[in-house]
């Protein structure tokens, strides 16, 4: 705890010199302990740590960053508008999971929501300007030039979802092709023969991969309408599919929100779920249990994905080679809609 002077006023915060005096070591030894240096004996390290605890010493982050060349912050960049990030439970869920995965570290999370457009260059300048120790990117659209610029820099980077074009950046993903294939095969196993899909955006790897898995399960192009992973787009796509194929009897939607929108359109058209049309979603968000009927869906392991992203970034920040990319399995969760 801080000492007091004779007038009863609190003295200045303890410094490296104060800690060194109490521990009986040099200032340089205290600095090495505080900054994670390895050239310290176990006895000296123990003495310094005891002195730090006794004095309540807290290193000045700004001064420490001058020594370590680290900021103590990592950025999570979401390539969507702010309104979309906080209204989409998938984006909000992975953001929360990443924050929880960082809770046991001394790193601060900087959340940056920047849709494609003019602000991208300012974002790039900020990230490459030494303001963060590493970057996590998610919800990328197309061949975002930001990814290429980061891949050419020494800044540690990890992506959520594979990039649209091959780049030497590790990514963490769930197996969207296998998940979509499993969802479609489940509908076929129920005896459904006219199975449509509400696919995601074609400029996102999740949209591309889930459409591919659906088509692999059908061994053909199938019946496709497109959405943007939102509930409104799922409702509109379902109405379009019913106009094109009134007798369809199964639907795989590439997100739970689009599946929830599809349920609304089916209800409006007088279709019963699952009696007339069986519906399968993707993500296994909370909304999947709240729809009527509850959604059969492909489970996305968001906490495990978040932990893998943080582990990859921490390894790179520590100076280790970039880890291999991680692709996690995603089981089907069967509920009443299919």
> pLDDT per residue over 50-69, tens digit each?
888 888 776 655 444 444 45
Sign of the dihedral through C-alpha 87, 91, 94, 99: negative
CATH number for domain 176-299, candidates 1.10.275.10, 3.40.50.2300, 3.40.50.1370, 3.40.140.10: 3.40.50.2300
| Full DSSP string of 55-69 | HT----HHHHHHHH-
Q: Give yes or no for a contact between 254 and 180, defined as CB atoms under 8 angstroms apart.
A: yes
The architecture CATH gives domain 73-174+303-330:
3-Layer(aba) Sandwich (3.40)
Torsion (CA) 47, 53, 54, 58 in degrees, nearest 10: 110
> pLDDT per residue over 84-122, tens digit each?
888 889 898 999 999 999 988 888 999 998 876 676 788
Give the span between the Cα atoms of 109 and 119, in whole angstroms: 20
State residue 104's pLDDT score: 84
Q: Give yes or no for a contact between 252 and 187, defined as CB atoms under 8 angstroms apart.
A: yes
Q: Give yes or no for a contact between 231 and 260, defined as CB atoms under 8 angstroms apart.
A: yes
For the chain, 338 residues long, give each residue's pLDDT as a single digit of tens. 444 444 444 456 788 788 889 999 988 788 777 766 657 888 888 898 888 888 877 665 544 444 445 678 999 999 888 888 888 898 989 999 999 999 888 889 999 988 766 767 888 888 888 889 999 999 888 878 888 888 888 899 999 998 888 888 999 999 999 999 999 999 999 999 999 999 999 999 999 999 999 999 998 889 999 999 999 999 999 999 999 999 999 999 999 999 999 999 999 999 999 999 999 999 999 999 999 999 999 999 999 999 999 999 999 988 887 789 999 999 999 999 99
**HSE-up of residue 227 (Cα within 13 Å, Cβ side):** 28
Please provide the CATH number assigned to the domain covering 16-68: 1.10.260.40
What are the extents of the domains in the chain? 16-68, 73-174+303-330, 176-299
Q: Give yes or no for a contact between 250 and 275, defined as CB atoms under 8 angstroms apart.
A: no
Give the span between the Cα atoms of 231 and 259, in whole angstroms: 7
Q: Do domains 73-174+303-330 and 176-299 have the same CATH topology?
A: yes
pTM of the model: 0.78
Give the span between the Cα atoms of 6 and 222, in whole angstroms: 84
Give the span between the Cα atoms of 287 and 301, in whole angstroms: 16
Give the span between the Cα atoms of 253 and 224, in whole angstroms: 10
Omega prior to 21 cis, within 30 of 0: no
Q: Spell out the alpha helix ranges (H) of 15-72.
A: 16-23, 27-34, 42-55, 61-68
| Full DSSP string of 126-169 | HHTTTS-S-EEEES--SS-HHHHHHHTSSS-EEEES--SS--S-
Q: Give yes or no for a contact between 238 and 178, defined as CB atoms under 8 angstroms apart.
A: no
| CA-based nearest residue to 31, from 17, 41, 43 | 17
Q: Give yes or no for a contact between 281 and 308, defined as CB atoms under 8 angstroms apart.
A: no
């Amino acid at each position: 705890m801080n000492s007091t002077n004779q007038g009863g006023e609190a003295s200045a915060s303890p410094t490296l010199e104060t800690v060194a005096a109490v521990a009986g070591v040099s200032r340089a030894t205290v600095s090495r302990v505080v900054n994670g240096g390895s050239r310290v004996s176990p006895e000296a390290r123990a003495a310094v740590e005891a002195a730090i605890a006794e004095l309540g010493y807290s290193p000045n982050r700004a001064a420490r960053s001058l020594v370590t060349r680290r900021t103590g912050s990592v950025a999570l960049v979401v390539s969507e508008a702010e309104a979309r990030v906080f209204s989409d439970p998938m984006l909000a869920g992975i953001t929360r999971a990443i924050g929880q995965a960082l809770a046991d570290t001394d790193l601060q999370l900087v959340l940056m929501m920047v849709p494609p457009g003019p602000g991208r260059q300012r974002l790039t300048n900020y990230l490459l300007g030494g303001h963060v120790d590493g970057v996590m990117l998610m919800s990328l659209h197309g061949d975002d030039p930001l990814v290429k610029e980061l891949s050419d820099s020494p800044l540690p980077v990890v992506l959520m979802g594979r990039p649209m074009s091959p780049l030497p950046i590790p990514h963490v993903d769930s197996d969207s092709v296998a998940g979509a294939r499993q969802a479609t095969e489940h509908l076929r196993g129920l005896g459904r023969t006219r199975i449509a899909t509400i696919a995601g955006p074609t400029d996102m790897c999740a949209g591309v991969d889930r459409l591919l898995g659906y088509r692999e399960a059908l061994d053909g192009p199938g019946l496709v309408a497109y959405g943007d992973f939102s509930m409104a787009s799922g409702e509109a796509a379902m109405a379009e599919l019913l106009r094109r194929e009134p007798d369809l009897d199964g639907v795989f939607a590439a997100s739970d929100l689009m599946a929830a929108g599809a349920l609304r359109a089916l209800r409006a058209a007088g279709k019963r779920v699952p009696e007339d049309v069986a519906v399968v979603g993707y993500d296994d968000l909370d909304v999947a249990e709240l729809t009527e009927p509850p959604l059969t869906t492909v489970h996305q392991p968001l906490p495990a994905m978040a932990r893998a992203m943080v582990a990859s970034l921490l390894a790179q920040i520590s100076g280790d080679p970039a880890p291999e990319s991680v692709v996690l399995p995603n089981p089907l969760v069967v509920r009443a809609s299919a």
